[in-house]
Amino acid sequence: MPILEVNDIRKSFGNTEILSGISFTMEEGESLSIIGSSGSGKTTLLRCLNFLEKADRGSVSVRGQIVFDASEPALSADELRRRRAHFGMVFQSFNLFPQYTALGNVTLAPLLASGGKNADEIEATGKKLLDQMGLSDRMNNYPHQLSGGQQQRVAIARALALHPDILCFDEPTSALDPELTGEVLKVIRELAENHTTMIIVTHEMAFARDVADQCIFMDSGVIVEKGPSRQVIDNPQAERTRQFLSNYNS
């Protein structure tokens, strides 16, 4: 059974349809890259999966259980929070809380979710995650004391702290210079090698080809092509995919 099933997701803003019937599945432990031009619907898709936007139509299932159905009535805040926990989200702009240390950012959501229980265990997990990110010596630093790459690694640890089924990245390196980009991509590569289930919206074509198992190319709100990453990027079948990659690499 796929860990994720996305069926006919549609989303419009006003009279403009951004997603025009997106459907795909993912297996557990698989990493999926999503590529495409700006405005193709990549970020909107992630935001619909993570309940930051409500799709107008369609459904999403995780481990065989429906977590979103557009025909459902509005969810309570508690139920929305419970369903959102299936997806961890890492944003391009980090979105760390400036008043909390790196460790505080990682442990805040688990502490709130537990009602303050298991604080020692949550702190130990937070320290372990930051160590995994190569930030064991930065745990007590505040965001303004960290580089962009370090802040993004804290954001990844924060997303992992809630043990999501699927980790989602929205262009995680777009705000970073090339040296810091390498730091973050190294962490994501290690997560992929450990079979963390991930969806990665990225403009790093070489990374998408070499790290992700599968690749989706989106254009104008539809999936134009999907397949093994090396096949899609090195030997695309659709003319529109070939045009995009040609322009991108020119």
* pLDDT in the model for residue 128: 97
* 249 confidence band (pLDDT: 50, 70, 90): low
On the question of pLDDT at 116 being above 90, the answer is: no
| Size (the chain), residues | 250
Q: What six digits make up the tokens of 203?
A: 């403009």
- Model confidence over 195-232: pLDDT tens digits? 999 999 999 898 999 999 999 999 999 999 999 999 99
CA distance 47 to 199: 12
Whether 36 and 218 have beta carbons less than 8 Å apart is answered as yes
Question: Residue 207 phi/psi, 5° resolution?
Answer: -65, -45
pTM score, whole prediction: 0.93
Whether 59 and 68 have beta carbons less than 8 Å apart is answered as yes
CA distance 66 to 22: 16
- Cα 4 vs. chain centroid, distance in angstroms? 13
DSSP run (H or E) holding 68:
strand 65-69
**Which DSSP letter does residue 143 get?**
G
- Model confidence over 26-74: pLDDT tens digits? 999 999 999 999 889 999 999 999 999 999 999 999 999 999 999 988 8
Q: Catalogue all structural domains in the chain, each as residue range(s) with its CATH number.
A: 4-86+166-249 (3.40.50.300), 95-163 (no CATH)
